Amino acid sequence: MSSRKIQDCSVPLQACLMEFELQLHGKGLAFVRACTFRSYGEQEMLWAKGRTVPGRILTYAKGGQSPHNDMEGDKPAANAADYYPLLHGKLCDDKTPEELALWEQFGQIARACGLEWGGDWTARKRDKPHFQLPKGKRPCKQSSGC
């Protein structure tokens, strides 16, 4: 099962997420941290949705291609986390002006905390719950040839 623990993130992401959550709390915004680290196998299952398994496409990253899958040696060190705003005690969708405004507020706070927000991506790959370290701030993976 995917992790929701900040401790399963890289140290740089942990610092950004703690500030992000502090800012959300300070503005009285309720949220759920839905996922930090995700195994390659879990990523593969998500990638299959809408392709080889019924459902809508949830991700464009296969196992090992997502910053949710990053490791430091044998320890999880995700460079991404998924968050959902809560609206009236329920996970926020993006169908009403109120919901869209709440997502935008989360995106603004995330950017101010040094995070890249998936809601800023192009329409096809837009992923509002996704928050990650910008590519230039991520630690190099040993397998990346850095």
pLDDT digits (tens, 9 = 90+) for 105-124: 999 999 999 999 999 999 78
pLDDT tens-digit readout, 6-18: 999 999 999 999 9
Query: Residue 44 and residue 95: Cα distance in Å, rounded?
Result: 28
- Between 136 and 79, the more confident residue is 79
For the stretch 56-111, pLDDT in tens is 999 999 999 999 999 999 999 999 999 999 999 999 999 999 999 999 999 999 99
Domains recognised in the chain with CATH numbers:
6-137 (3.30.1380.10)
CA dihedral 107, 110, 56, 135 (to 10 degrees): 120
Whole-angstrom CA distances from 5 to 9, 14, 68 are: 8, 10, 12
How many CB atoms within 10 Å of residue 61? 19
With left for phi above 0 and alpha for psi between -120 and 50, is residue 3 left, alpha or beta? beta
